Structure 1
């Protein structure tokens, strides 16, 4: 096999992997998981002030 043939096959494999990844990422099954992951940042902010109130009461 020539170098150009191997390079072409590798390019096609990477393109197919990219298309599969995009389909996986934008599928409806994954939407709820990604929405939950996106809201994890806000869950931490709600818990942090409660800890501060508890710590300040013990001093």
Structure 2
């Protein structure tokens, strides 16, 4: 395996990980948790 092949593999793995994070972040089952976490700074004691 030469350097260029390793670069391609790392780039593809990074892209797949990026897409996975985007799918996880925008999935509807996590929306309520993210909305709740987003409101935390505005909650008063």
Do they fold alike, i.e. is TM over 0.5? yes
Note the aligned Cα RMSD (angstroms): 0.6
Answer 1 or 2: which has greater helix percent.
1
State the distance in 1 between where 2:10 and 2:39 align: 37
TM-score scaled by structure 1? 0.73
TM-score scaled by structure 2? 0.94
Aligned to 1:26: 26
Q: Which structure carries more relative contact order (alpha carbon 8 Å, separation 6+)? A: 2
Bigger-Rg structure (1/2) = 1
Secondary structure of the 1:22 match is helix
- Unaligned 5+ segments in structure 2 are none
